[in-house]
Amino acid sequence: MINVTKTFLPPLDEYIKYLEKIWDTSWVTNQGPLAEELENRLKEFLDVRNLLLVTNGTIALQLAIRALDLKGEIITTPYSYVATTTSILWENCNPIFCDIEKNSFCIDPANIEKAITENTSAILATHVYGFPCDIEKIQAIADKHNLKVIYDGAHAFGVKYKDQSLLNFGDISTVSFHATKLFHTIEGGAVIVKDEKVAEKIFLYRAFGHLDDEYFSIGINGRTSEFHAAMGLCNLSRVYDFIEKRKKINLMYKEYLDGTPLSFPVISENIFYNYSYFPVFFLTPESMLSAKQLLSENGINTRRYFYPSLNKLPYLNYSECPVSEFTAERVLCLPLYNDLGIDHIKKIALIINKSFNLK
């Protein structure tokens, strides 16, 4: 079986060295020294000021919404993982779906302003597959209407826009460190916050709202463990190597799929991209499903990132987002991970060519 992704695990002896530190201190959770070290190293790596580790990327979104005191309506994208929408619902806000751009897969700023009402408190947009939203247009709209901006950057670790981390934009950016991600801590995530007072709120929120015997606010347990931090410390120094390997795989896919009726996202010149995913766009849902089925029959696992379009979730009132719905019916993500071999890439491309009756 060739899976759509594969978790990178560092050399075991390297991880064991961190385990020995944990055994020496008997400090396994509650913001231990390894978690502190990873937070500091991530701030340096990403060149961000306020970064807080949390248990996962979904908790990161929920903490962001809560810390910004958002109420009422949050304008968001229908083309993302379901956690983007359910985080809004979980915090008792109402997701208002705004359709996406045809080429970037990200929320379309041209549609955002039309969706703003007196009940709108924020925009929550996703950097889909790590491709940046139009952050300048979104910020201009937010400034005009006094709205907060949260970016779901689950896919955006290591991505740079005009030479700075994409996670630096918006009032808050969140990121996932799930085992399937480019950089992972097995389970985990982070919140990157522009305002220091908001960062202080999240610091308390993730630890039940208290410091020792002093209680300041409500809170949850959003802290990471030393074991997860240890995995992150092993992996962080390898991120640029991961990106380079994935870039080569990306180029090989495009070479071997040349001549098919598939199309691929275009990476603009002012972006340093992380190659987290390899989405391909089919002309019809039928051709996509045919290729997916043939790949599955040959032991190759692909994923429909993202299907269905979230405006069609059965527990929500339907609102029309034709571009997102059209896209969700036609995109398939092919296997992409650090050690995916050229023979596997050729095999995948050959099967897709066969699905189109091409040699």
| Backbone angles phi and psi of 279, in degrees to 5 | -80, 140
Answer whether 279's CB lies under 8 Å from 333's CB.
yes
User: Which residues, including other chains, have CB under 8 Å from residue 173's CB and lie 6 or more apart?
Assistant: 150, 151, 153, 156, 166, 167, 191, 192
Q: State how far the Cα of 235 lies from the Cα of 3, in Å rounded to an integer.
A: 21
**Cβ(173)–Cβ(166) below 8 Å:** yes
The strand pairing partners of 210, in sequence order, are: 215
Q: What is the pLDDT of residues 303-351, one digit of tens each?
A: 999 999 999 999 999 999 999 999 999 999 999 999 999 999 999 999 9
Quick one: pLDDT at residue 335? 98
Rounded CA separation 221/199 (Å):
16
CA atoms of 355 and 293, how far apart (whole Å): 9
Residue 154: band (very low, low, confident or very high) from pLDDT cuts 50, 70, 90? very high
pLDDT at 287 over 70: yes
Can you give the pTM of this predicted structure?
0.97
The pLDDT tens digits of the residues spanning 246-281 come to 999 999 999 999 999 999 988 988 999 999 999 999
- Name 99's Cβ contacts closer than 8 Å, sequence gap at least 6: 78, 107, 108, 111, 321, 322, 323, 324
pLDDT of res. 269 = 87
The pLDDT value given to residue 357:
84
Tell me the average pLDDT across 156-164: 96
- The pLDDT value recorded for residue 22 is 98
At 161, which amino acid appears?
Y
* Contact by Cβ (8 Å): 261, 358: no
Average of per-residue pLDDT across 137-159: 98
Residue 289 scores a pLDDT above 90: yes
Long-range contacts of 251-259 (CB under 8 A, 24+ apart): 252/342, 252/345, 253/278, 253/334, 253/345, 253/348, 253/349, 256/345, 256/346, 256/349, 256/350, 257/349, 257/352, 257/353, 259/353, 259/358
Distance of CA 106 to the CA centre of its chain: 12
First-last CA distance in the chain: 23
- Asked if pLDDT for residue 98 goes beyond 70, the answer is yes
321-331 tens-digit pLDDT: 999 999 999 99
What tens digit of pLDDT does each residue of 108-136 get? 999 999 999 999 999 999 999 999 999 99
Torsion sign over Cα 45, 48, 52, 56? negative
More confident residue, 313 or 357: 313
In a 3-state reduction of DSSP, which class is residue 242?
Answer: helix
Q: Each residue of 223-244: pLDDT tens digit?
A: 999 999 999 999 999 999 999 9
For the stretch 166-180, pLDDT in tens is 999 999 999 999 999
In a 10 Å sphere around its CB, with 0-12 CB exposed, 13-18 middle and 19+ buried, how is residue 300 labelled? buried
- List pLDDT tens digits, range 45-56: 999 999 999 999
| pLDDT bracket for residue 359 (50, 70, 90) | low
Chain centroid, CA 211 distance in Å: 31
